[in-house]
Structure 1
Amino acid sequence: MLRGDWLRRASTVATGSWRVLALHGLVARRRGDSTATDAGRAMGQAAKVLQLFKTLHRTRQQVFKNDVRALEAARIKINEEFKRNISETSPKKIEELMKIGSDVELLLRTSVIQGIHTDNNTLKLVPRKDLLIENVPYCDAPIQKQ
């Protein structure tokens, strides 16, 4: 199996309702380019895309730990988005898609909290260390307008 074919297969994946990136176009462009710098840049970008893909899946596993349904739904969405953009060759568009994917990963890691049903109408929240929590005291009394 050629290295390019391996990269193409390894990259056929995506980010949820989030736009995503494609190594296939980068590998194809690399094969057609005559300059080593373009090939090097394409391979560097391809590695970043693959790294983002892996990071999204690791974050998915942490955020939705022990929730089979949510884990599967997130996996399908991530893979779908990467596949949708597999033929993208424009470096600017790929950078834009990578930015969106990175933002989604950050949002998942810092803003999504897992809740587990315990009794009727009761949820147990499972906070993680990466979760952003505003430590503002709750005020039960309504604020008076002046």
Structure 2
Amino acid sequence: MKIFSGDERALTAARLKINEEFNKNKHVKEEDAIKAMIKLAEDVERELRTQVIQAREIKPGVFEAKVNEDTVMLDNVPFDEHAVIENSPKSRRSCCQSESKSK
């Protein structure tokens, strides 16, 4: 309800998915399987709570984002064109997969 507040379409879709998963697994009786499904549900809830934001267009090309206290906020590092490695054979590094194969 908190994550999709005010978005009836998203709330309906979430309710349908939750009910579908419950009905699909309501026959499960093994304690370990039930604990694993509860852990998955908690992980999904945490991911939604911390990673999903709501945004709406308030005028053409301008959006308003709705975040909450649980939303993960990362530093936005501006692009620096001088940080790009030049395209010359000397400056090219092999990819990490190539490096690990040679070890």
Fold-level similarity (TM above 0.5): yes
Query: Which structure is higher in strand share?
Result: 2
Q: Say if 1:107 and 1:137 are closer, same or farther in 2 by CA, change over 3 A.
A: closer
Unaligned runs of 5+ in 1: 1-60
CA deviation string 1:60-81 (max 9, x = no partner): x101111111111111111111
Bigger Cα Rg: 2
Aligned-residue identity in percent: 32
Aligned residue among 60, 71, 80 for 1:141:
80
Normalised by the size of structure 2, how large is the TM-score? 0.74
How far residue 137 of structure 1 moved from its aligned partner, in angstroms, is: 4.1
State the structure with bigger RCO (CA 8 A, min sep 6), 1 or 2. 1
**Matched residue type, 1:126:** K
- The residue number in structure 2 matching 1:100 is 40
What TM-score does the superposition give when structure 1 sets the normalisation length? 0.54
Taking the aligned partners of 2:77 and 2:29, their CA distance within structure 1 comes to 50
**Larger helix proportion of the pair:** 1
Q: Which runs of 5+ in 2 are unaligned?
A: 86-90, 92-103
Q: Which runs of 4+ in 1 moved over 6 A?
A: none
Within the alignment, does 1:119 sit opposite 2:59 as a pair? Answer: yes
Distance 1:84 1:101 in 2: 14
User: 2:79 corresponds to which letter in structure 1?
Assistant: D
Equivalent residue for 2:70, pick from 106, 130, 140: 130
Matched, 1:65 2:5: yes
Is 2:47 the partner of 1:75?
no
Cα deviation for residue 139 of structure 1 reads: 1.6
Aligned residues: 85
Give the secondary-structure state (helix, strand or coil) at the position aligned to 1:63. Answer: coil
CA distance in 1, matches of 2:9, 2:24: 22
| Alignment root-mean-square deviation, CA | 1.4
Q: Tell me the CA shift for residue 98 of structure 1.
A: 0.9
